[in-house]
Chain A
Amino acid sequence: DVKVTQSSRYLVKRTGEKVFLECVQDMDHENMFWYRQDPGLGLRLIYFSYDVKMKEKGDIPEGYSVSREKKERFSLILESASTNQTSMYLCASSFWGLGAFFGQGTRLTVV
């Protein structure tokens, strides 16, 4: 079974802090994704990566950056956390056509 692991299930951070969300997958997938989930909006793509050190913006990249130094690891970075970034964050990996495999989600609260 594909396993995608996010480093935290719950995080509480202060406004202005730099926040790192970590994600690791064990299936050697090329593609990895960070989505944000908000009520009534479904999941929206923040950033994705199709190879080590390669990244592309998704639909809502503002206020976020990413890092992929190793194939199995994809990090989401909030450079200066703001209250409007309070949300559920979901990491996923995929091999095209099979759909995405998701981590358990990180619920981030920025106070």
Chain B
Amino acid sequence: AQTVTQSQPEMSVQEAETVTLSCTYDTSENNYYLFWYKQPPSRQMILVIRQEAYKQQNATENRFSVNFQKAAKSFSLKISDSQLGDTAMYFCAFMISNAGGTSYGKLTFGQGTILTVHP
């Protein structure tokens, strides 16, 4: 079974600064995907960034980037130039890569980190 751990229940950052959210996971699988989701007060879960485990290059989406350390099973999210609209709950999630197999796209989530961006 897979587990995902987010050890920071809450974090805060000043507007325009950089913040890093931590995530570790445990799995015996070699092929998988990792995701960061954002859930603002509207409750709509939004995919922020996606990483394929076989790719060594860290994924980047505008101000969002990840530090993927496969051997350490670590997947942190860095938010640069933080904006007030980044205030949200952030979830790290894991999915086994099993095309046509039995994973069915199931996600295992961490506990979430509440990020507050202060003006």
Contacts and interface: CB of A to CB of B under 8 A. Distances in A.
Interface of A: 30-31, 33, 35, 40-45, 48, 50, 56, 58, 88, 90, 92, 94-102, 104-105, 107
Contacts of B33: 97, 99
Chain B interface residue bracket vs A: 20 to 34
A42 B110 contact: yes
B7 interface: no
Contacts of A90: 45
B99 interface: yes
Interface string B30-63: 0001010100001111010010100000000000
Q: Per DSSP, are chain A's interface residues mostly helix, strand or loop, or mixed?
A: strand
Contacts of A105: 43-45
A88 B43 contact: yes
Contact of B103 (A43, A95, A96, A99): A96
A42 B111 CA distance: 4
Contact of B105 (A35, A44, A95, A102): A95
Given A96-B99, A104-B43, A42 B109 contact: yes
B54 to A, nearest CB: 12
